[in-house]
A and B are shown apart, each in its own frame.
Chain A
Amino acid sequence: MTKSFVRPNPGAQTLAKLPPSSREDIREMARAAGLNLPEKLMEELCDAYPAFEAMVRRLPRARPRFDEPAHTADVARLASLNDADQAG
């Protein structure tokens, strides 16, 4: 017998039913994000983005208000970091 650890997700309402963005919508979003892409690369983005949009829209949206994100700012650790050059 299989033991299940899956719980019904309380925020299971998603944005999956929204109509996909059009190529013109994607161009407008890119412009609003300040991307100044050559036409060939803008076309690439218009081809690539729909799969990512569908992915993001599958995320649960109606979570209980107190559900925390999976990160915290550890201020004690942040304060103790050296300012050593980490760039290379």
Chain B
Amino acid sequence: MDTLPTTANAGEAIEYATVAELQRLIQRKEISPVEISQALLARIEKYDSSLKTFVTLTPEVALERACETESRIARNEPLRPLDGIPYGLKDVINTAGIRTTGQSRILEHNVPQRDAFVEARLKAAGGVLLGKLTTYEFAHGGPSWDLPWPPAMNPWKKGYLPGGTSSGPGAAVAAGFLPAAVGTDTGGSIRMPAASCGIVGVKPTYGLVSRRGVLPNTFSFDTCGPLTRTVEDAAILLGAMAGYDADDISSVEKPPVLYTRDLNAGVAGIRIGWVRGWYDGDPSCHPDIPDAIERALQVLASAGAIVEEVELSDLLTYQDCKTTISITEMFSAYEHEFRTRPQDFGTMFRNKVLPGALIRAEDYFQALRQRTWLCEELARAFREFDILASAGWMTVAEPAKPDKLDKFLRPPNITTPFNIGGQPAMNIPCGFSREGLPISLQLAARNFDEALMFRVGHCYQTLTDWHTRRPTEGLIQ
């Protein structure tokens, strides 16, 4: 892929080039950042009327930033970590002068004056913003068909959803619109679309990436992280996003880490705890998933990892704790609007958050005390294991059913335990179901040990080719 043509056909190769490949090509002056952005904007124009991954496209911003990188190259200035690299932001991340809606009628015309911390970091690193991406309303409770914008669709299969709530980021990266996007994850909202779309999705350690300027879902759990097609690209993006922010109360001051440094160090001797009981035997689990996860762990074992089965509390215990905390905090974040204009929320969001008004203070605090208990359980597991592994999601992508609104609680999320514990967790593609839909492996590491998680995920991707498969059937819905 390092010999991309710079001809009229460049777009065909650019669309699935990785961040690492584009960096090398830009560095060698073999491709122009403007050409990259133009090729991707052309692809978006061709397919996004079907996939609906963008709420707001920003071609002027993209070309201005790409031109700035070209000027730096012309002046032989040193390149920044993301110079010329296109990306998109979930539309809950504030962008100065660019509409940020939360996919909600409540903020339909909201134009922030200040960038979110994470957007400021990506801009300073030379990234090229192509636009704001579809989500569920305020990153919760979708998909919804009664909002000002329709939900995104999955490029792998016509009429199927990409998962949520970072649905636009997941679908856009899988469709070759962008090599990278930034989403948010409060209970699995980066990892679920990564699983449904066959890409990599990373929830960093809580406190590693600032949430300042990101519309809140649950203050106690909200994180921002990258969605990419390779683990290496996720490591590059996270390196640009992470950093201490004195204005975010959750931000933790840590020395910077070069997440790409040890990617090729292999997995010999790494201890992996396999949480098989979370999904294998669960009636909601797709029948092809348990075998796919077992095969993925066999790959890592054959490379030298030590895999042992472990048992943790059941997912419902984690979910009850997390959701009690979430709906209480979320109602408090949007209480004024619930009291003054409740009809302006979508039905799904309203049904999943308004009950938070009736949670008593003692219920909320019992959930917080339960969280401490569950954090201790995870901490004990991570004292003996370097990585915990499970299925990335219980199901494959699901069909869109606008006439059958899911208004209530779903089966427990397999991603939620690591929001409770705060640990970094990542979904990576590890197979396909009988329907041709992606299956995903979840890997989690100790708090602030993203580097080890990336090392294990990268090792898996060097031994398999699931991440190189491309969707075609669902590009036109």
- Interface size on B, as a range, is 35 or more
Which of B324, B338, B369, B377 touches A35 (beta carbons < 8 Å)?
A: B338
Which of the residues B249, B356, B357, B373 comes within 8 Å of A67, measured between beta carbons? Answer: B373
B372 in the interface (beta carbon within 8 A):
yes
A5/B323 contact (C-beta < 8 A), A37-B342, A70-B372, A80-B246 known: no
The main secondary structure of chain A at its interface with chain B is loop
Instruction: In the A-B complex, list the 4 residue pairs whose CB atoms are closest, starting with the nearest.
Output: A69-B368, A70-B371, A88-B112, A4-B311
The answer on a CB contact under 8 Å between A47 and B339 is: no
Tell me whether B29 is interfacial, beta carbon within 8 Å: no
Q: Which residues of A contact B366 (CB under 8 A)?
A: 11, 59-61, 63
- Within 8 Å of chain B (Cβ to Cβ): is A81? yes
Kindly list chain B residues whose C-beta atoms are within 8 Å of the C-beta of A41: 342-343, 350, 354
Per DSSP, chain B at the interface is helix
- Among candidates B94, B358, B363, B384, residue contacting A33 with C-beta atoms closer than 8 Å: B358
Are B249 and A81 interface neighbours, CB within 8 A?
yes
Give Cα A17–Cα B355 distance, bound, in whole angstroms: 20
Q: Which A residues are CB-close (under 8 A) to B50?
A: none
Give A residues with C-beta under 8 Å from B.
Answer: 1-7, 9, 11, 26, 29-30, 33-38, 41, 44-45, 47-49, 51-53, 55-56, 58-61, 63, 67-71, 74, 77-78, 80-82, 84-86, 88
Given contacts A3-B309, A41-B343, contact A55 B324 (CB under 8 A): yes
B58 at the interface (CB under 8 A from A): no
Complexed CA–CA distance, A65 and B352 (Å): 32
B359 at interface, CB cutoff 8 A: yes
CB-contact partner of A51 in B277, B316, B350, B408, under 8 A = B408
Contact A48 B357 (CB under 8 A): no
Instruction: Judge whether B264 is part of the interface by a CB distance below 8 angstroms.
Output: no
